[in-house]
Each structure stands twice: as C-alpha cells, then as structure tokens.
Amino acid sequence: MDFSWFKVGPEFLQPLLLTLKVAGLATAAATVIGVAMAYVLTRWRFALRDFVDAVCTLPLVMPPTVLGYYLLVIIGRRGFLGKWLQEVFGITLMFTWQGAVIAATVVAFPLVFKSARAALEGVGKQYEDAARTLGLGEAAVFLRVSLPLAFRGVVAGTMLAFARALGEFGATLMVAGNLPGRTQTLSLAVYSAVQAGDDALANSLVLIISCVCVFILVTTSRLLQPKF
Amino acid sequence: MKRVLNSLILSCACMVLVLAPLSAHAEELIVSAAASLTDAFTDIEPGFEKANPGVDVVMNFAASGALYRQIEQGAPADVFASANPKWMQKAVDNGFVDKANVVTFAQNALVLAVPADNPAGVKSLDDLKGDAVKSIGIGTPETVPAGQYAKSALTAQKLYTTLEPKMIFGESVRQVLDYLSRGEVDCGFVYKTDAVKAGDAVAIVAEIPLEKPVSYPIAVLKNSTNSKMAQAFVDYVQSEEGMTLLEARGFKRP
C-alpha cells in the first residue's frame, strides 16, 4: 500500500485542534445568541421585527470577504470597537485566534437563528400558556417547555453552524490572518498547502474536513426527520 | 396560457443574458502578473489595447507563487510576470516557459515601512527587536516574493528567528500594505512601489539592503493559445511607453 499521498504530522494536528477550538467556541456563542434572538423575534411583536430578522440572516448571504471587511472596520485597531477595546482593556483582536472565533461566530449565527426560529414557530402557544397558568415564570416556560419542544430543530441548526464555522475562510483570513500555529485553521491550512505545493498535506486535511462535514450532514438530516 | 408563455420568454431572455459572455468575440489575452505590478500593468493595459485593436487583455493579479501554482494546474494564461526570478525559474524548469524567452523588465526596492502615525516609533531595522514593536507585516516567504526577499535580508542580519513570533504573514504584498495603511501592524516589509502607492498613509523608514536587487522577469507561456499577441504584450511592456508607465509607479529600469 502506498500512503505517500497522506501525511499526519504537527502541521496537520495543529490546524485540526485549532479549528475544533475555534469552531466549538463560535458554535457555542452563535447558539446562545441565535436561540435568544429567535425567541425574541417569535414571541414579541415590535416595529422593526422584519428588519432585525433580515440583519440576523444577512451573514448567510453576504460574501465572507464583505463580512471580513466589516469586521476589519469594526474590530480593527482603528475600528470604533477595536480602538475602545485597545484603550480600555488593552485587548487586540486582530491576528488572534479570538478574532477567528468572532469571524466564525458571525458566519455561523444565521444558521442557528433560522433553524431555532422555525422550530420555535412550530411550538404551539397553547403549551406555553398552559405552563403559565400552572404558575411557571417566563424563563422557566422557555427552558422547560418551548426549548425542549423545539430541541431537534435547534440541535440541527447548531450542527450546521458548526460545519459552517469549521470551513470559514474569507472573513477569518482578513481578520485573523493566516499564521501557522496561531490562527491557521483547517481551511487556511488547505489553502497554504495547495499554494506551497504540499499535496500530501492538502489531501489529508481535505479528507478530514470532508468526513466531518458528511457526518454532520447525515446526522442533521436524521435529526430533522419527523418521528411517527 | 399567456402567463406560461410570458414566463417562457422571460426565462429564455435570462438564458441569453447568462450565456452571452461565453460567446465573446474579442481575442482574449490572459496576463498573470504579480500583485505588486497591479497598478503599473493596469496603466499599461489600455495603451496596449489601443495599439492592438480587437484584443482584450485580462489581468490576473496574485502572489507570484499562487500564479505559478495556477499555471502548473493548467490554468489558461498567455503571459507570466513574476516578482522574482525564483518562480520564473520554476516555470522554466518544469517546461511551462522557454528559457530563451525570459527577460527582466523592471526592478524594485524592498523597504521597511510604518503606518503614518508610526505607533511603535520605528526608526531603523534594529528597533524591531524592541518591546514597542508588537507586530511585523511580511509576505508568506514560501509564496510571496516580497516575503522571501525580506526573510533573506533578515536571516543575513541574524534577525529572522528572533522576530518570527511577532510576524503577521500576508497572502500577498498588497495585503501587508493594506494592514500597514490601516495601522493593524506596527511595521512591515513592502516594495518601494507599494509604499509610494499608499501615499500619506504609509511612511518609509529604511530601504533594506539586498544581495540581489528585486527584479521582475516576464515571459510568454509555452501553452499560450496566442503566442504572437502574448509576445507583442511582452514587447510593449519593454517599450518606451511601457517603461515610462512603470517608472511613474516607482519601478526602476533593469
């Protein structure tokens, strides 16, 4: 057997571990914010609801480079948020793995938000009202009635968000850069490996990311199948 | 029925619009040129098209290493202009370019530059070791010639390994320049032409002495479907008009 097309070494493990860290944290952040936003938009009526919904969905359709540019302008050293963080806390997000987490959160967020919103819309209001008449507070109603009923949709959205965060490239490259060992995630490592002509490394990275994505897609489709 | 017909007509119209570019009639000449040549070649393009009516020059700008990889993967290109001899040599070695056809058409200088407000107070190459400097922009040495030149110069001065933890690697010299003009890095290595282009946003601290000057080779690719026109482009770049435009952007004659 010829295994020369495949390579496992530090240059393979480092991006893999970093990607899992970045995508994991980004998915966690996107899930919390996404579910909260979805709940607010499903249960409350207010003037700019459709506009807020559109803004939350925007990262799904925007080119990653455009998002990257927005992030540069916001959290860059001279950006309004970046400048403030720098002056008040001495934090720089540019070229750090935390910056990569922010980029991945932004691209993953709409997937959670959309799925959670669809799932929560599907939860009958009568169950929530029944819980309220039985004396549960709003937070308890959400945590013990709405969320469990919408659980499968939320989990499916979360998994898709994780897959999307795994593969983030454009915005990450602009904000976190492509720094081997520091901010080089799997997709950036694939890019660099191809550029440098290291096909063996590219093959092994591509194989891993493909397997993970297929696994996620199969699992989500099974989760979303209606139970009879 | 009428609605069906209308939507049919509409979809046909859409198809025509989508497919129209596929049947373009102008002769296309694809020029793969290093990112640092972006402005100069964009200036040269209209003059060449005027002198050769019916030719549409398509410029493909990226890091020289990336361009070479595209050529290696069989991407269609007629002319290759690299920012250093290394990638052109690779193209010669692997049979994409005829050695006799390679000419050096311009030279450039490598500089250490800082954002206009010079936040880290960099005055010389030695300041880079100081604590004030937190980040140094440099092109990825494996694929970006500007990064390769900077790495050799720093290695020669025994500085590269010391400074490596502070380095922010850019995908092309233009990305490093963008980081400089936005003040995202404290200093960075770019070409003199790039620093000139950035105008007031970027200041040059020092010219970096190099063993060999930064030279730009250009050649017609063997796989060119239009080698006569490709050669005409190479000649035009070296003509008086081409040279004047290159000099206006800060390049030197070889």
Residue of A nearest to B65 (CA): A195
**Residues B77 and B198 reside in one and the same domain:** no
Pairing outcome for strands B27-34 and B79-81: parallel
CA–CA separation, B120 and B123 (whole Å): 9
Q: Which domain holds residue B44?
A: 28-107+215-249
Q: Which residues of A, range 77-136, sit inside 8 Å of B by Cβ?
A: 77-78, 92, 94-95
- Taking CB atoms and an 8 Å limit, are A76 and B182 in contact across chains? yes
Burial class (CB in 10 A: 0-12, 13-18, 19+), B223: middle
C-alpha distance from B143 to closest chain A C-alpha (Å): 7
Query: Would B18 be classed as within a structural domain?
Result: no
**Residue B176 sits in the same domain as residue B115:** yes
Claim to verify: residue B128 and residue B183 sit in the same structural domain: yes
- CA nearest to A79 within chain B: B182
Residue B23 inside a domain? The answer is no
Q: Is residue B7 part of a domain?
A: no
pLDDT value of residue B193: 92
pLDDT on residue A225: 80
Q: Would you list which residues of chain B are within 8 Å, Cβ to Cβ, of chain A?
A: 63, 65-66, 69, 72, 134-135, 140, 142-143, 167-171, 182-184
Are B164 and B44 contained in the same domain?
Answer: no
Distance CA B167, CA B170 (A): 9
Q: What is the model's pLDDT at position B2?
A: 58
pLDDT in tens, A28-50: 999 999 999 999 999 888 889 99
Q: Kindly report the CATH number assigned to the domain that includes residue B51.
A: 3.40.190.10
- B189 in a structural domain: yes
Both B115 and B240 in one domain: the answer is no
Structure tokens at B187: 């200093």
Distance from CA of A164 to the nearest CA of B (A): 23
CB pair distance less than 8 Å for B184 and A197: no
Average pLDDT over chain A, rounded to an integer: 90
pLDDT attached to residue B9: 56
Tally the domains of chain B. 2
Residue A77: list chain B partners with CB under 8 A: 182-184
Neighbouring C-beta atoms of residue B71, cutoff 10 Å: 21
Q: Where are the domains of chain A?
A: 10-224
What's the pTM value of the predicted model, to 2 decimals?
Answer: 0.81
Find the CB nearest B168 among A95, A192, A195: A95
- Express each pLDDT in B75-119 by its tens digit: 889 999 999 899 999 999 999 999 999 999 999 999 999 999 999
Spans in chain B with pLDDT lower than 70:
1-25
In a domain, B73, yes or no: yes
Q: What architecture is the A10-224 domain classified under in CATH?
A: Orthogonal Bundle (1.10)
Contacts of B40 (CB under 8 A, 6+ apart): B106, B193, B245, B246, B248, B249, B251
> DSSP states of B58-118 as a string?
EEEEE-HHHHHHHHHTT---SEEE-SSHHHHHHHHHTTSB-GGG-EEEEEE-EEEEEETT-
Q: B20 lies in a domain?
A: no
Task: Tell which residue, B32, B155, B134, B138, has the closest CA to residue B82.
Answer: B32
- Which residues of A are less than 8 Å from B135 in CB distance? 95
Q: Which residues pair with B217 in a beta bridge?
A: B104
Same domain assignment for residues B70 and B187: no
Q: Are residues B115 and B103 in the same domain?
A: no
Paired strand residues for B218: B81, B103
Which of B72, B144, B179, B185 is the best residue to mutate to test the A interface, defined by the most A CB atoms within 10 Å of its own CB? B179
Tell me, yes or no, whether B99 and B220 share the same domain.
yes
User: Does any domain span residue B8?
Assistant: no
Q: Specify the pLDDT at position B21.
A: 47
Residue B5 confidence (pLDDT): 53
Asked if the structure places residue B135 within a domain, the reply is: yes
Residue B14 has a pLDDT of 45
Q: Are both B184 and B123 inside the same structural domain?
A: yes
Nearest-angstrom CA–CA distance, B120 and B131: 9
Asked if pLDDT for residue A2 goes beyond 80, the answer is: no
